[in-house]
Amino acid sequence: MEAAILLLVVEDEEATRDVLEDALRESGFELQLEKNGANALAVLESRKDSLRGLITDIDLGPGLDGWELARRGRELIPTLPVVYMSGAAGHDWASKGVPHSTFVAKPFAPAQITTAISALINVSDSHT
C-alpha cells in the first residue's frame, strides 16, 4: 500500500483550517496543520524529507507571511508544490509568489484546493 502524501497546511483561521482538513483528509492526504508561519517553518525544516506540498494562507498574522514561508520552503525543498490562499493578496502573486505555484482566492470551494495541490504534485512527480 502506498504511503499517504504529506501536506503542510498553514491557516490562521480555525474554521477555514477545519474545512481544509476535512476535504484534504477525505481525498487521502496526510496533513500537518499549523496556524502561524513560525510553527510552519519549523515543520518545513524538520520534515523536509517527507513533505510533498504546502498550502498556505498569505496573511498569517505577526511573523512570517505565506510569501516568505513558501520562499523558505523552496530553499529547503526545491520542487515543493505550493498553493497560496487569500481573500486580499492575489494581486501580489505574480511578483511575490514562487514559480510554478497556484493561487486560490477566498472564499473557495474546498475541492478547488484539493484539485490545485493534486495538479501541482502530479507535475512535480512527472519531473522527478
All domains of the chain in start order, with CATH: 6-108 (3.40.50.2300)
pLDDT at 109 exceeding the cut of 50: yes
Q: What is the DSSP letter of 35?
A: S
What is the C-alpha separation between 120 and 54, in angstroms, rounded?
10
Q: Please write the tens of the pLDDT for every residue from 57-85.
A: 999 989 999 999 999 999 999 999 999 99
Enter the C-alpha cell of residue 48.
523536509
pLDDT at 1 exceeding the cut of 60: no
* Contact predicate 41/75, CB 8 Å: no
pLDDT at 108 exceeding the cut of 90: yes
Sign of CA dihedral 99, 47, 41, 109: positive
Type of residue numbered 52: R
Q: Please write the tens of the pLDDT for every residue from 29-38.
A: 999 999 999 9
**Quick one: pLDDT at residue 128?**
60
Q: Which residues have CB under 8 Å from 67's CB, separation 6+?
A: 58, 84, 92, 96, 97
